[in-house]
């Protein structure tokens, strides 16, 4: 499977970036073995893009923060790459996921001192109620509320330090909610109108099965940014990145974790399997191509002050 990816040009790269090409090739080989096809970016018209960006601007306006179209599009592209284009049945729900994903990205990128639940959560609920049926709106809203609350409560907490610094097992338990996979599944299942996927998303099974693959990819490509910002939610902090042999051994175990989960995903029904495979591989494709991960800090990933 061709990835059309090239290594960053910086010959002085440190952290995980010094292993960029080697690990990117190994991720791609894993997806080639289990998925066997390229990720597809969901097409959107100019009118749909404008609708989503305008809805995002309305939702974050009470926070008093202006966000550029370039940044909104960077946030939005993870949805366009990571949803299963072949199985989409509801574009209204797809647009809802774009908006919810984008505005919670803003929350995640903000200084916690600026978090204002009283102004933000009603806007989140309004987005859910606009795009979803009443029952689906409740699941999407609860997923979003849990995600932003978890991010606010635990960003600098002792509990987070323990969970993120003890072992990969504890770390990935925490990341089911912290990385937002449970939120993603609860806001995404209406896109597909598929009974089994709906139940896997509501019960949390889909999120648990996708978390390691999503977090490992995200952590590898975001390590330098998170290190620069002093953030601790990264599994690669659990190994010595200055020791190439230790890093490669640690990375191999993480690939084995992903392979184990993807082997299990093959037993899901055809649609649920495809959606979860496309989510994990699409996140990889977005992460390796999007400007957010090209440099440690830039105009689409810097802390929103």
Quick check: 7 pLDDT over 80?
no
For residue 6, give the nearest of 36, 31, 28 by alpha carbon: 28
pLDDT at 49 over 60: yes
What is the mean predicted confidence (pLDDT) over 284-302?
Answer: 93
pLDDT for residue 13: 72
User: What pLDDT is stored for residue 1 in this prediction?
Assistant: 41
Query: Of 120, 80, 92, 128, whose CA–CA distance to 104 is shortest?
Result: 120
Model pLDDT, residue 189: 98
Tell me the pLDDT of the chain averaged across its residues: 94
pLDDT, tens digit (0-9, with 9 covering 90-100), for 89-124: 999 999 999 999 999 999 999 988 899 999 999 999
In angstroms, what is the C-alpha Rg of the chain?
A: 18
Confidence category of residue 54, pLDDT binned at 50, 70, 90: very high
232 CB burial (10 A radius; 0-12, 13-18, 19+): middle
Q: Tokens at residue 298, please? A: 């830039």
Residue 132 has pLDDT above 70, yes or no: yes
Please state whether 36 falls in left (phi above 0), alpha (psi between -120 and 50) or beta: left
Instruction: Write down the pLDDT at residue 112.
Output: 87
Confidence of residue 10 (pLDDT cuts 50, 70, 90): low
Closest CA to 29 of 262, 294, 290: 262
pLDDT over 60 at 11, yes or no:
no
Query: Does pLDDT of 172 surpass 80?
Result: yes
Look at phi and psi of residue 303 and say left if phi exceeds 0, alpha if psi is from -120 to 50, else beta.
beta
> What pLDDT score was predicted for residue 194?
98
Q: How far apart are CA 165 and CA 174, in angstroms?
A: 11
Whole-number pLDDT of residue 229: 86
> What average pLDDT score do residues 126-147 get?
97
Q: What is the pLDDT of residues 62-79, one digit of tens each?
A: 999 899 999 999 999 999
With 70 as the cut, is the pLDDT of residue 195 above it? Answer: yes
Query: From CA 26, how far away is CA 28, in angstroms rounded?
Result: 5
260 or 1, which is more confident: 260
Residues 7-19: what's their mean pLDDT? 72
Q: Structure tokens of 97?
A: 């996921």
pLDDT, position 2:
40
- Residue 173 CA: distances (Å) to CA of 76, 150, 229, 288: 26, 13, 23, 25
pLDDT at 9: 45
What 8-state DSSP symbol labels residue 9? S
Tokens of 88: 């989409």
pLDDT at 179 over 90: no
């Amino acid at each position: 499977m061709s990835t059309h990816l090239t290594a960053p040009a910086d010959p002085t790269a440190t952290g995980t970036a010094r292993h960029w090409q080697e690990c990117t090739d190994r991720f791609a080989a894993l997806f080639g073995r289990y998925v066997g096809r390229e990720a597809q970016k969901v097409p959107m018209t100019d009118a749909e893009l404008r609708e989503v960006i305008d809805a995002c601007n309305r939702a974050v306006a009470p926070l008093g923060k202006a966000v550029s179209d370039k940044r909104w599009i960077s946030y939005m592209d993870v949805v366009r790459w990571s949803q299963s284009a072949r199985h989409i049945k509801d574009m209204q729900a797809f647009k809802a996921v774009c908006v919810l994903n984008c505005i919670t990205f803003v929350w995640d990128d903000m200084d916690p001192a600026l978090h204002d639940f009283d102004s933000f959560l009603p806007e989140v609920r309004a987005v859910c109620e606009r795009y979803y049926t009443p029952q689906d709106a409740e699941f999407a809203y609860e997923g979003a509320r849990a995600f932003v609350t978890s991010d606010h409560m635990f960003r600098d907490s002792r509990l987070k330090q323990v969970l993120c610094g003890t072992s990969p097992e504890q770390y990935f338990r925490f990341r089911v909610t912290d990385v937002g996979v449970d939120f993603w599944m609860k806001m995404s299942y209406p896109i597909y109108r598929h009974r089994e996927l709906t139940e896997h998303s509501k019960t949390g099974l889909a999120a648990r099965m996708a978390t390691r693959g999503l977090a490992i990819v995200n952590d590898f490509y975001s390590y330098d940014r998170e290190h620069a910002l002093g953030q601790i939610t990264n599994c690669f902090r659990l190994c010595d990145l200055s020791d190439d042999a230790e890093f490669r051994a640690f990375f191999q175990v993480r690939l084995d974790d992903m392979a184990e989960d993807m082997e299990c995903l093959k037993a899901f029904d055809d649609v649920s399997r495809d959606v979860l495979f496309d989510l994990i591989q699409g996140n990889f494709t977005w992460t390796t191509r999007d400007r957010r991960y090209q440099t440690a800090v830039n105009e689409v990933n810097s802390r929103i002050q």
